[in-house]
A and B are shown apart, each in its own frame.
Chain A
């Protein structure tokens, strides 16, 4: 998985998926416009399984879950940020999408680095430099949701 690094803080949902595309709600449609207002080239560059690295408060702004779907649809496997805005984080967990909080990561991982994530151990390794970053492992209920494939699977099962 390759890292797409955006060092900026407060990357908001209007940049991740602008409102002009909110007349659509299918992941495949939204995917075409992921990150459009921050980087028009993103969808051309991203490959399945890549990760986004960003600064503080990633995903602030609106409650549109379309932001998570657009990224996932574009092939993004995880967002690793210094911190997340609440609703984006919650939407990620509910979708079984990986949002990993790792302080300081946006300033250290070079663009294009190949990363490996160990969820249980809470470790991210930069395979090029060998450098290891640690994060607090996801809470149990979040891991459970990841395993189930999201909140709805969890509640409709029980």
Chain B
């Protein structure tokens, strides 16, 4: 019987020929990602249990990102503790301020992610890295400590839902709109415990960065992981980002068994806006009747803070002004992206338009800092969650959308169809 790519990766790492959904396996992990919020508890747990080393320092990557540059004394102390610990453990892949970035943008950019890997990260959006054909999933701090100690973890093999994306994407409709539509259809728990595999001609045509936007939000449908089988674009991306050449190019067998196959033709898809307070609350922008005035437009995060996203936003903001009463914040997701955006003149475009640009950080995506919103304020954001209180006050509202839609709202002060900006 055929297997899905996810089953193949897990089987290989569990030392088995094949695995079945529902089976519990102990699988070795190839890469462990740690950030500032979830790592300190794992350090304490290891200390409490008298563990003095990690199983393989070369397989651990650390990047403080959520509250950096440190937003207060407590977060400064957390990062300091991690820095000292990393030194003791001999972990060299530490991306400190100046080389830093939002974890899920940084990890593939720096060539750490490769097809066929098992990757765990103490962050729910670790599912992002499936865009390069890896099994990658989010874990908590206890799992993180266990993986750091032993190099393996228990997994229940997930059943896979296959999303076959066909049709032709209209001009101005992006990967973010596709994933918001998928989540709208299946709901925030539509893929709970499951692997989401994305394929089809539309996925083939997407850049690797755009694929990351899709796999990034698998967790917003409850998914354990999101994955796209590697292709030539993947290999080109790996080369460009200096990933070592050894990797395992797997794909699902023709006769792989899927729990469900969902066919989606995106030819009629419109820009999507997810209304408060759940990511599955998406509406086509063309169907929004009310005028929604926004206080803040936020462009950044592991979902849409990469260079392609910034280019799209800059195209819309170029030569325009953010009106009085509206704020626009742009946060390039990593140092490299920041530098590239600077080189291309994008940062000037943003600043000229009256937006502000910050250093890379998760910032207000999770209501940390750099753009927290007040009660009764509305923020349109390129991030991935619009839960109550996510970006600040529990009485504020967050709308999720693509960089183009967010930039257009920044310019007009209202949620609008970015394709019609300037039309009266």
Contact = CB atoms under 8 A, between A and B. Distances in A.
Interface of A: 9-10, 12, 14-15, 18-20, 22-25, 37-38, 56-57, 60-66, 68-69, 83, 85-87, 90-91, 94-95, 141, 150-153, 155-156
A151 to B, nearest CB: 5
Contacts of B385: 12, 14, 61
B37 A10 contact: no
A24 B67 CA distance: 12
Given A57-B222, A63-B123, A141-B154, A152 B74 contact: no
B189 interface: yes
B388 A37 contact: yes
30 contacts: A12-B387, A14-B389, A14-B390, A15-B388, A18-B367, A19-B367, A19-B368, A19-B390, A22-B366, A23-B72, A23-B75, A25-B40, A38-B388, A57-B189, A60-B188, A60-B189, A61-B124, A61-B385, A63-B38, A63-B123, A65-B141, A68-B140, A83-B192, A86-B192, A94-B140, A94-B142, A150-B142, A151-B142, A152-B146, A155-B149
A131 B59 CA distance: 52
A57, A60, A83, most chain B CB atoms within 10 A: A60
B140 A90 contact: yes
Interface in B4-55: 24, 37-38, 40-41, 44-45, 48-51
A64 B140 contact: yes
Interface in B38-87: 38, 40-41, 44-45, 48-51, 66-67, 71-72, 74-75, 78
A125 B43 CA distance: 40
A153 B75 CA distance: 28
Nearest to B362: A19
A150 B143 CA distance: 10
B382 to A, nearest CB: 18
B145 interface: yes
A154 to B, nearest CB: 9
A116 B341 CA distance: 59
Interface of B: 24, 37-38, 40-41, 44-45, 48-51, 66-67, 71-72, 74-75, 78, 122-124, 126, 138-143, 145-146, 149-150, 154, 188-189, 192-193, 222, 224, 278, 366-368, 385, 387-390, 394
Contacts of A24: 74
A87 B142 contact: no
Contact of B38 (A9, A65, A94): A65
Contacts of B49: 152-153, 156
Contacts of B45: 152
B367 A20 contact: yes
Contacts of B154: 141
Contacts of A156: 49-51, 149
Q: Top 9 A-B pairs ranked by shortest CB distance?
A: A65-B140, A23-B74, A91-B140, A94-B142, A57-B189, A63-B124, A37-B389, A63-B138, A19-B366
